[in-house]
Chain A
């Protein structure tokens, strides 16, 4: 499995964009980038995923560099409720069957008033 590197913590002011980076320099061509978050001790929550194109949904945007060695999760207008640990996970593509998610240590995002 490709490994990811994330900063251990980040701060963001409420209402501003939160940009969370992730390095995955050993990612292979068939691996997707997934983002999950965990608020306090709740169960992880899926945010978004992508292969090589940028993706956007109601929660966030995912920007993947052209060489796919890094990505950025963008929360456009962070709120206090976005305070959580954010996990960047790489995972083989849809054609490789029943693949578990492997969580790292993630980035602890603190959104302040």
Chain B
């Protein structure tokens, strides 16, 4: 069964460092999302992406965050200068039909900022 894959599964970084989280969506999906979940808290929407541009972003997704799909397969989330409060699980999701509401999530990348 096709699945969304994310790398790395866990990354530890120092505050102020840049981090790139990578996602390979399901191959025929064209709509992509990043969500995050701080330990013990809700799953929060960060950004949605379609046709090489951001469709919607949340208040969390400030200038420190960026997304791109550089090669038609990977979908990346970059955090330019990490803060302690960026420590969380980051989930990538994709869908073939956004209006249908069935999103396929990856297993997540755990980011720990020290």
Contacts and interface: CB of A to CB of B under 8 A. Distances in A.
- The judgment on whether A and B are partners is yes
Interface of A: 32, 34, 38, 41-46, 49, 87, 91, 93-105
B75 interface: no
**Chain B interface, >50% SS class:** strand
Interface in B24-79: 31, 33, 35, 37, 42-45, 48, 50, 55-56
Contacts, number: 60
Interface residues of B, number: 28
Which 10 pairs between the two chains have the least Cβ-Cβ distance?
A43-B105, A94-B99, A103-B43, A100-B45, A43-B91, A46-B102, A98-B55, A98-B98, A44-B105, A91-B101
B103 interface: yes
Interface string B70-111: 000000000000000000010101000011111111111010
